[in-house]
Every structure is written in C-alpha cells, then in structure tokens.
C-alpha cells in the first residue's frame, strides 16, 4: 500500500530554484518536501558558471535592458546570504571570486564607449590595473583594459551542498510521478510508493517540467530550450580568471570562469558567444579547435601544451518566448494548487522564491501543524561536470 504523507508545499526538482525555495519556505515555518529523480543540482545548476550577475553583460549595447534592470539587485541579496545575514544563511558556501570582470583585449570603440560613459554603468564598473588584475591577466604581454563589476562567482557544488543541508529531512529521491486527485481536483502527487498531499505543488524541475506537465495533462505554460555548447579546459598552467571578454558586439566574445578540481588544478569553463549559435552548430572536435584558437589569440602567454579540453552541451530550459529570446525575470504560472516556473538564471533563484511566496500570500495560505516526516530515501549530490569530463 502507498504510504500517505502530507506537507504544505511539495516541490519537484532539486536544482537551485527548488532548493532555494525549499529553504526559504522552511525558514518561514512551512512544511515542505522536495522530490528529485536523479541528483541534487545535476541538471542545469551544476552546468552553470556560478556567476551572480548584476546585469552588466546585458547592457553591452550601451544602455540598460530589461534583463539588466531585473537582475540588478541579485548580487546584494546573494552577498547578504553568503554573510549569513540575508534571507538564507549561506555562510560556508565557497566564494570563488568577489568580483567578475569585463576584459577588453584592445581599445574600446563604438557602442562600448557609450556603455562605459553612461551614468548607470559608472556605478557598476571600475577599471583595475597592475596587481589588481585577475591572476591570469597579470602578464607583461597583456595590453588590454579590465573593469571590475559588482558581481560575484560562487562554487556551485558547495552552494548545492549547503542548500541540501537547509532542507533537513525534507528531501525525497523519487522517479515515478503521477497525479493524485480527489475527483477532478489535483490534491497532490504519487511519487513511487508515496501518496503526498499538499496545499501547493511547485514544479521547478527545469527541462523536466515539460514531461511533468504532460503527465498532468497540461500544455501550458509552454517551455523553450536554448542550447549552449560549453568548453572546459584543464591544465597545470591555468590561473584563476573570472571575466567576460568584450568583442564589440552585444554579447561577450567569451566568458571564462575558473573552478578548482579535486586534483588541485584549475578548470576554465568557457561560455559567452563561443558557446552560442556557431558553437552549437560545431561538433566537439571543431568546438575544441575554435576554443583553443580563441585562447591562443586572446591569452597568448598562457601555455596550453598540457591542457586537456572537453565540451558540454547544455539546454537552458525557460518559459517559451517569441523568437526564443531570453526571459528577463524568473517565471511562475498558477493552475489551482499547481505552480509551475523557471528561474531562467542561477542568479534569479531568489526572485523565483519571491514569486512563489507572493502566490501563497495572495491565497492566504499559512503553515499547518503536520506530523514529522518519516525517514525517506535521500537524493545524492551531483558531481561537478569537470570531475566527470576531465578527471
């Protein structure tokens, strides 16, 4: 017989959106249960670069966009959480870099001049030189300019581990999910051998939302996937670098973040324009060749002789937009007890939680007295992608 469980909020999906929401709800006294069918953070979350954007990269055309305004307050909220004084206590999460950088390999011309001259940008950007440069750019051969952004870069595996701690006993490893109805009304979900009733059910499973909605007989909200073809580089000569390299267009030419591997070496994780349209069209061999050419052009003093390369295809799952454009904000749709959403970016996880909490407040839902959960099978933490691809 299925085991009956009850909770205030049932969350499906153990990426950063579900885990952050789970921790926020628990801190406010709600009973929660989060279900993950594979590993915590193993979808989009651990494939992200860990950058907590403040919107600057969305303003490279010289003006603040909707995306830039929507995400502007996220670094402050994350910094407060990392200090233990914010909406969550994330003290102990490893901060890889207290700033992200804009890096120009040559002179700034055209629309970038208006970008740096704009009043909005002067409060977000400071030029750095000499020993303030990122370690990988501290070379006599470097002739470009570097600007420090009011952003930060997190070690995402340690973030996932901390959010899993904050989940307490409220995590469940479960693979088979089906609707639990009372007549026509959705009242919960069947997860493997459990029947779980909840006041609200939140689907925050990223790309998995599509199949979950189909299982529940819903076609809306529709989902889109925007693909990336990321590149990983590991080698003994690599030094930390967290920067967007400007190319004169509306997107960074290349975005580099650096991640510590278990063997003590650094792994560079490359996104930006190289990972988008042209990169998606390339096969692995061609993408690695393109990445090597870019690094040799932009950072010729870095010795790549012993470097190893790998690529990773990532689908960014988001609410469907006309023309596959990137949504500006986190997204949430309501269908009775069912809430469906995507944070759209790692940095916007707090915004996603805000939207769920606002929905609960509008419905005047409050924590209910519930029996403690029994011991449940717990999903494992995902391994970092660089440990899988470049051990």
Q: In the prediction, which pLDDT does 56 show?
A: 65
DSSP 318-370: EE--GGGPPPSS-EEEEETTEEEEE-SSGGGHHHHHHHHHHHHHHTT------
Say if residue 65's pLDDT is above 80: no
Q: In the prediction, which pLDDT does 110 show?
A: 41
Q: What confidence category does residue 104 fall into, taking pLDDT thresholds of 50, 70 and 90?
A: confident
Question: Is there a contact between 62 and 108 (Cβ–Cβ < 8 Å)?
Answer: no
Q: What confidence category does residue 247 fall into, taking pLDDT thresholds of 50, 70 and 90?
A: confident
CA dist 84 to 41, 88, 377, Å?
22, 7, 29
Sheet of 95-97: strands edge to edge? 51-52, 152-154, 95-97
Lowest average pLDDT, out of 90-94, 117-121, 369-373, goes to 117-121
pLDDT by residue (tens digit) across 165-188? 999 999 999 999 999 999 999 999
**115 phi, psi to nearest 5 deg:** -60, -50
Question: Is there a contact between 314 and 291 (Cβ–Cβ < 8 Å)?
Answer: no
Residue 223 per-residue DSSP state: E
Q: What is the mean pLDDT of residues 70-74?
A: 80
pLDDT by residue (tens digit) across 299-335? 999 999 999 999 999 999 999 987 767 677 899 999 9
Q: How far apart are CA 355 and CA 358, in angstroms?
A: 5
Q: How far apart are CA 125 and CA 121, in angstroms?
A: 6
| Rounded to 5°, angle at Cα 221 from 55 and 213 | 120
Say if residue 61's pLDDT is above 70: no
Q: How is residue 229 written in tokens?
A: 């073809």
Q: How far apart are CA 377 and CA 374, in angstroms?
A: 10
Lowest average pLDDT, out of 124-138, 141-155, 340-354, 365-379, goes to 124-138
User: Is pLDDT larger for residue 129 or for residue 36?
Assistant: 36
Collapsing DSSP to helix, strand or coil, 122 comes out as helix
Q: How far apart are CA 224 and CA 324, in angstroms?
A: 7
Query: Is the bond preceding 221 in cis, omega lying within 30 degrees of 0?
Result: yes
Say if residue 137's pLDDT is above 90: yes
Quick one: three-class SS letters along 267-317? Answer: EEEEEHHHHCHHHHHCCHHHHHHHHHHHHHHHCCCCCCCCCEEEEEEEEEE
Say if residue 214's pLDDT is above 90: yes
Say if residue 131's pLDDT is above 70: yes
Say if residue 163's pLDDT is above 70: yes
Q: What confidence category does residue 114 fall into, taking pLDDT thresholds of 50, 70 and 90?
A: very low
Question: Is there a contact between 74 and 347 (Cβ–Cβ < 8 Å)?
Answer: yes
Question: Is there a contact between 43 and 15 (Cβ–Cβ < 8 Å)?
Answer: yes
Q: In the prediction, which pLDDT does 124 show?
A: 59
Say if residue 111's pLDDT is above 80: no
Residue 165, C-beta contacts closer than 8 angstroms, at least 6 positions apart: none
Question: Is there a contact between 266 and 246 (Cβ–Cβ < 8 Å)?
Answer: no
Which domains can be identified in the chain, with CATH numbers?
Answer: 3-45+159-222+322-384 (3.50.50.60), 65-154+225-319 (3.30.9)
DSSP 230-245: EEEEEETT-----EEE
Say if residue 57's pLDDT is above 90: no
CA dist 277 to 166, 271, 289, 358, 371, Å?
38, 12, 16, 37, 51
Q: In the prediction, which pLDDT does 329 show?
A: 85
User: Is pLDDT larger for residue 145 or for residue 331?
Assistant: 331
Q: How far apart are CA 314 and CA 294, in angstroms?
A: 21
Query: For 169-195, b where at least 16 C-beta lie within 10 A, e where not — what string?
Result: ebbbbbeebeebeeeeebbbbbbbebb
Q: In the prediction, which pLDDT does 71 show?
A: 80
pLDDT by residue (tens digit) across 251-282? 889 999 999 999 999 999 999 999 998 999 99
Lowest average pLDDT, out of 92-101, 144-153, 273-282, goes to 144-153
Q: How is residue 81 written in tokens?
A: 């959480």
């Amino acid at each position: 017989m299925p085991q009956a469980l009850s909770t205030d909020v049932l969350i499906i999906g153990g990426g950063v959106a579900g885990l952050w929401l789970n921790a926020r709800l628990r801190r406010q006294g709600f009973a929660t249960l989060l279900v993950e069918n594979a590993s915590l953070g193993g979808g989009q979350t651990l494939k992200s670069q860990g950058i907590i954007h403040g919107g600057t990269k969305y303003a490279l055309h010289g003006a603040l966009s909707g995306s830039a305004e929507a995400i502007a307050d996220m670094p402050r909220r994350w910094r407060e959480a990392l200090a233990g004084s914010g909406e969550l206590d994330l003290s102990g999460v490893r901060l890889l870099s207290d700033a992200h950088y804009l890096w120009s390999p040559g002179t700034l011309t055209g629309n970038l001049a208006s970008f740096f001259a704009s009043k909005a940008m002067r409060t977000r950007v400071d030029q750095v030189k000499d020993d303030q440069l990122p370690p990988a750019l501290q070379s006599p051969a470097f002739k470009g300019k570097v600007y420090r952004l009011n952003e930060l870069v997190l070690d995402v595996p340690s973030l996932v581990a901390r959010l899993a701690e904050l989940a307490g006993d409220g995590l469940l490893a479960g693979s088979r999910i089906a609707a639990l109805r009372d007549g026509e009304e959705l009242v919960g979900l069947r997860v493997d051998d459990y029947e779980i009733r909840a006041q609200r059910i939140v689907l925050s499973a990223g790309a998995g939302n599509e199949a979950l909605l189909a299982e529940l007989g819903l076609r809306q909200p529709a989902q889109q996937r925007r693909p990336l073809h990321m590149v990983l580089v590991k080698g003994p000569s690599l030094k930390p670098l967290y920067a967007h390299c400007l190319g004169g267009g509306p997107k960074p030419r290349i975005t580099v973040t650096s991640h510590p591997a278990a063997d003590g070496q650094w792994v560079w994780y490359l996104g930006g324009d190289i990972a988008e349209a042209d990169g998606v069209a390339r096969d692995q061999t061609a993408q690695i060749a393109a990445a090597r050419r870019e690094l040799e052009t932009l950072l010729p003093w870095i010795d790549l002789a012993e470097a190893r390369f790998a690529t990773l295809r990532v689908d960014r799952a988001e609410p469907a937009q006309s023309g596959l454009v990137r949504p500006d904000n986190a997204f949430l749709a309501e269908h009775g007890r069912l809430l469906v959403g995507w944070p759209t970016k790692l940095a916007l996880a707090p915004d996603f939680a805000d939207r769920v909490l606002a929905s609960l407040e509008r419905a005047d839902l409050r924590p209910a007295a519930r029996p403690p959960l029994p011991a449940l099978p717990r999903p494992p933490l995902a391994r970092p992608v660089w440990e899988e691809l470049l051990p």
